[in-house]
Amino acid sequence: MIAVLPTVKRIWAADICRDGGSYCFCFDSDDGHWYEFFLKTNAFDLSASSTHEAPAIYRGGSNDGQLIRKLSWDEGKRFVAQLNYEDMRFQELLAVVAAEGKA
């Protein structure tokens, strides 16, 4: 896995996934690739203590891309802290990150 996180140049999508509640946002980086910030749902894990797993970043998307790095909740909070994207799903994702998956 790559230690250096990609720089967010432009967010172009945010959504809740059809897997039961995972959240993601997609962005272009200054390295010419697109990435996905992904919060996997724990909706089907009855023993889970949170609604979502800690964030992960994929190059090319979580379904078929390359895992760049799994983040801690603190790293996830820092990563999204300066981002702005006017979208309801993005705001929901930010709330999940702020609550460390206990939203």
Kindly report, residue by residue over 6-36, the tens digit of the pLDDT: 999 999 999 999 888 999 999 999 999 999 9
Predicted local confidence at residue 2, as pLDDT: 56
Residue pLDDT, tens place only, 44-66:
888 888 999 999 999 999 998 89
* pLDDT band at residue 99 under the 50/70/90 scheme: very high
Give the pTM.
Answer: 0.93
Q: What 3 state SS string does 9-22 have?
A: CEEEEEEECCCCCC
* 3 state DSSP class of 98: helix
In whole angstroms, give the CA distance from residue 77 to residue 71. 9
Q: Are strands 34-39 and 56-59 parallel, antiparallel or unpaired?
A: antiparallel
> Of 31, 23, 26, which Cα lies nearest the Cα of 7?
31
Radius of gyration of the CA atoms of the chain, in A: 13
